[in-house]
Chain A
Amino acid sequence: MAKIEITDLNFYYGDMQALHHIAMSVPDRQITALIGPSGCGKSTFLRCLNRMNDTIPGTRVEGSVLLDGQNIYAPGTNVVDLRRRVGMVFQRPNPFPQSVFDNVAFGPRVLGLTRERDLHELVEESLHRAALWDEVKDDLHQDAQQLSLGQQQRLCIARTIAVEPEVILMDEPCSALDPIATLEIEELMKKLEKEYCILIVTHNMQQAARVSDWTGFFWLGKLVEFDATQTVFTRPSHKLTEDYITGRAG
């Protein structure tokens, strides 16, 4: 069964409809890439999956998003717990202006996941999993914003992992990074894939082809094509997809 099942999802910013009848099954323990030109609704779609759009006034959503069979838009849903289960990594690395340790410990502390004395272990493990431990272990109390951008982004991933999510949403996580840092994040994603359901928005076609198992192509708020990455990149079923992938459109 799919980890996330999206059915007939419409999304509105006020009167402006940003998503039209989206349907998609996102499999667990695989990477799903979302591609498409700027402004086609990829970020909006991603934010529907952890209800971050709730924080933008005047927005409205229709349709259903099932996480493990439960509609996250059903009345009475615990949004705070939803966001713990569905973590998010942003386009620009956004560590808090605090120490490396406090950044990773933030979620567990706020959510009361562990006792303070078990925290160190949890922080270390999260940093290990985010492939950052070796680079920061000598000084966990340094200011997180002194790290390089690539390290900051891995720190944000560690911070997300620390609250034991099931799904990780990444919105163009490499667009602020240099090629080497980008490759490091991609390697990390391949590693994390074994334990999490991952969705990544990317502008970079090669990146989608390199890391993902499934690819969705968005165009003007519609999901034009959704299939195995292999298929989308070699035998797309829509002309629009082919034009976009080959650089003739978008």
Chain B
Amino acid sequence: MDETRQTRGGEFLIESFIRVIGVSSIGFVGLIFLFLLREGIPFFFEVEPGNLLGTRWYPTFDLFGMLPLLLGSVLVTVIAMGIALPLGVATAIFVREVAPNWAREILKPLIEVLAGIPSVVLGFFGMTLIAPLVRETLGVPTGLTAFTGALILAYMALPTIISVAEDALDAVPKSYRDAGLAMGATQWQTIWRVVVPAARSGIVTAMMLGMGRAIGETMAVMMVTGNAARMPLALDSLFQPVRTMTATVAAEMGEVAQGSTHYRALFAIGIILFLLTFVINLAAASTIFKKRRRGGLR
């Protein structure tokens, strides 16, 4: 009797502890967002919409056009995904479907290690190795371009995409593969026409999560994209310097006077970033949720 009462008491303590932690971490996220709003929202009233939607970001001259930064982020992220998605899915297919067991045992932890490389190290790597390579092979004046940033971001998003896509492939029942093979489809035809379509929603989730990772990345991007805030609309913009939202905040936050319009502008950028990643992650979560309800993802 005594002992059960003790464990009950212990259990109650542990449960309350976990509940407090859970609620407070949600609370902290909420507080951060409130803080962002408090510091950033006034900006949208201080500056005219025309200025805000302008194409020039020169805070010293009170020009706060956010479009070049937004488009910079979008350009770098989209190109990064264009590189990382096919590569990541192909790698996941290789690891899950083709590689012999021993290779799989080596590759899986290796991919997880990739995810742990600090982004400043990748930025350094990008500056000293990739940027010169880009400059020489493409014959552009500087190697610090949107493309270089996209390459590094693609690399950073790869581990996420690979492991989520691999889980999705793994969840495809063996009976589908058997059915494909037994119909006379080759292994590749079975993978391509049965397994990958069956894992489609998981692969979309993988892309969303990779994208969420890419758009919020700061350090590496700041180091390799050249940070020129101009509209990336020309055909060759990809191979010119660009500036992302994250890099702007990181580079300028140290120099602004607290409470100034410039200061608020950086917080406004923070709000936009927060909303972007929130929407992307929500989309990813909803594909997972839909799949669960249909009983596909085990």
A residues sitting closer than 8 Å to B (CB atoms) are 50, 52, 55, 80-84, 87-88, 90, 92, 94-98, 106-107, 109-111, 156, 159-160, 163
Residues of B within 8 A of A50 (CB): 182
Residues of B within 8 A of A84 (CB): 183-184
Which one of B181, B185, B197 lies within 8 Å of A52 (CB-CB)? B181
Q: Are A160's CB and B183's CB within 8 A?
A: yes
CA distance A97 to B201 in the complex (A): 12
CA distance A94 to B186 in the complex (A): 18
Binds A, one of B51-59, B123-131, B138-146, B171-179: B171-179
Q: Are B183's CB and A87's CB within 8 A?
A: yes
Q: Are B176's CB and A83's CB within 8 A?
A: no
Q: Are A110's CB and B189's CB within 8 A?
A: yes
Q: Using C-beta atoms within 8 Å of the partner chain, give the interface range for chain B.
A: 10 to 19
- What are 20 of the A-B contact pairs (CB < 8 Å)? A50-B182, A80-B184, A81-B184, A83-B184, A87-B183, A88-B182, A90-B178, A94-B173, A94-B175, A94-B176, A96-B176, A96-B179, A98-B197, A106-B185, A106-B194, A107-B184, A110-B184, A110-B185, A110-B189, A160-B182
CA distance A109 to B184 in the complex (A): 11
CA distance A29 to B74 in the complex (A): 64
Q: Is the interface of B mostly helix, strand, loop or mixed?
A: helix
Residues of A within 8 A of B185 (CB): 80, 106-107, 110-111
Q: Are B182's CB and A87's CB within 8 A?
A: yes
How close is B16's CB to chain A, nearest CB, in angstroms?
43
Residues of A within 8 A of B194 (CB): 96, 106
For the complex, is B132 an interface residue (Cβ under 8 Å from A)? no
Q: Are B179's CB and A94's CB within 8 A?
A: yes
Residues of A within 8 A of B198 (CB): 96-97
Q: Is the interface of A mostly helix, strand, loop or mixed?
A: helix
Which one of B175, B186, B193, B197 lies within 8 Å of A80 (CB-CB)? B186
CA distance A168 to B180 in the complex (A): 15
B residues sitting closer than 8 Å to A (CB atoms) are 173, 175-176, 178-186, 189, 193-194, 197-198, 296
Q: Are A92's CB and B183's CB within 8 A?
A: no
Q: Are A83's CB and B181's CB within 8 A?
A: yes
CA distance A109 to B192 in the complex (A): 13
CA distance A111 to B194 in the complex (A): 14
How close is A86's CB to chain B, nearest CB, in angstroms?
9
CA distance A156 to B197 in the complex (A): 18
How close is A55's CB to chain B, nearest CB, in angstroms?
6
Residues of B within 8 A of A55 (CB): 178, 181
How close is B166's CB to chain A, nearest CB, in angstroms?
19
Q: Are A90's CB and B183's CB within 8 A?
A: no
Q: Which residue of B has the minimal Cβ distance to A88?
A: B182
Q: Are A110's CB and B179's CB within 8 A?
A: no
CA distance A216 to B260 in the complex (A): 89
Given contacts A96-B194, A96-B198, A110-B193, contact A83 B183 (CB under 8 A): yes
CA distance A195 to B211 in the complex (A): 54
How close is B298's CB to chain A, nearest CB, in angstroms?
13
**10 other A-B residue contacts (CB within 8 Å) besides A96-B198, A156-B179:** A52-B178, A83-B182, A84-B184, A90-B179, A94-B173, A96-B180, A97-B198, A107-B183, A111-B185, A159-B179
Q: Which residue of A has the minimal Cβ distance to B179?
A: A94
CA distance A70 to B176 in the complex (A): 29
Q: Are B175's CB and A90's CB within 8 A?
A: yes
Residues of A within 8 A of B182 (CB): 50, 52, 83, 87-88, 90, 160
CA distance A156 to B194 in the complex (A): 14
CA distance A160 to B173 in the complex (A): 19
Q: Which residue of B has the minimal Cβ distance to A103?
A: B179
How close is B172's CB to chain A, nearest CB, in angstroms?
9
Q: Are A92's CB and B175's CB within 8 A?
A: yes
CA distance A156 to B182 in the complex (A): 11
Q: Which residue of B has the minimal Cβ distance to A159?
A: B183
Residues of A within 8 A of B179 (CB): 90, 94-96, 156, 159
Residues of A within 8 A of B296 (CB): 97
CA distance A109 to B189 in the complex (A): 10
Residues of B within 8 A of A88 (CB): 182
Q: Which residue of B has the minimal Cβ distance to A54?
A: B181
CA distance A168 to B189 in the complex (A): 22
Residues of A within 8 A of B175 (CB): 90, 92, 94
The 3 closest A-B pairs by CB, nearest first: A84-B184, A94-B175, A88-B182
Given contacts A96-B198, A97-B296, A106-B193, contact A163 B176 (CB under 8 A): no
Given contacts A96-B176, A97-B296, contact A163 B183 (CB under 8 A): yes
CA distance A92 to B176 in the complex (A): 11
